[in-house]
Amino acid sequence: MGPRRARGLTAALGVLTLALTLAGCTPLLVGGAATGAGIASSRRSAGTVVDDTFIKFRAEALIAAHKNLHRATHVDVTCVNGSVLLTGEADNVQDRARILSLVRRIHGIHRIIDQLRLTPPSSFASRLADSWITLRVKSALVAKGLDVARITVVTAHRVVYLLGIVPRSVGDKAALAASVIPHVRSVIELFQYTVHDHR
């Protein structure tokens, strides 16, 4: 095993360990403890959270292993309950197709939601603005009394994506809260809705 692969395996184990050990963290620590809080508070089982974390890390590792692809693209991978959301930028159609081909190799993925834009990688300022919007959305969800451990928020190019396993009423409430945040261009609900509408 080469040094790069060894470092990757160590990082993967670290992520999985973090996912298992942070179960007691408060849902308000959405930045660093979202995965751990998800085990305790979301409708995903601990095993599913670990699987999602592995899928995310594996996808990122496969993309990073292709040096030319990695330099010409910027891809963020989000996985919730086996659904993979790809956001970011690919410089051309061929690069985007290659990314999708790599991700499709991973076992355990139920669906891939391709939201990659055909454009050069975004600037640091653009990504920082998206991160700020994500933080504002999460704060708004907390203010509305929603369990942010069950809702994953991703922002790319000022488009907010909402994922999680929630009742439809909760999903609608979250989408409305996100839609009124300044500079949000649009909100896309990617929730998996529960049968029973328990809040």
Q: Read off the pLDDT band of 28 (50, 70, 90).
A: very low
Give me the mean pLDDT over the 126-144 stretch.
98
Q: Read off the pLDDT band of 69 (50, 70, 90).
A: confident
Helix 93-104 to helix 46-65 angle (10° resolution) is 140
- Rounded to an integer, what distance in angstroms lies between the CA atom of residue 138 and that of residue 148? 7
pLDDT at 196: 65
> 34 pLDDT exceeds 90?
no
> 128 pLDDT exceeds 90?
yes
pLDDT at 87: 98
* More confident position, 4 or 176: 176
> 14 pLDDT exceeds 80?
no
Q: What is the DSSP letter of 64?
A: H
- Rounded to an integer, what distance in angstroms lies between the CA atom of residue 154 and that of residue 162? 7
For 112-125, the DSSP string reads EEEEEEESSPPPHH
Report pLDDT digits (tens) over 97-111. Answer: 999 999 999 999 999
pTM, two decimals, is: 0.77
Q: Which domains are assigned to the chain?
A: 124-193 (3.30.1340.30)
3-state SS record for 70-88: HHHEEEEEEEECCEEEEEE
* More confident position, 15 or 45: 45
Q: Read off the pLDDT band of 127 (50, 70, 90).
A: very high
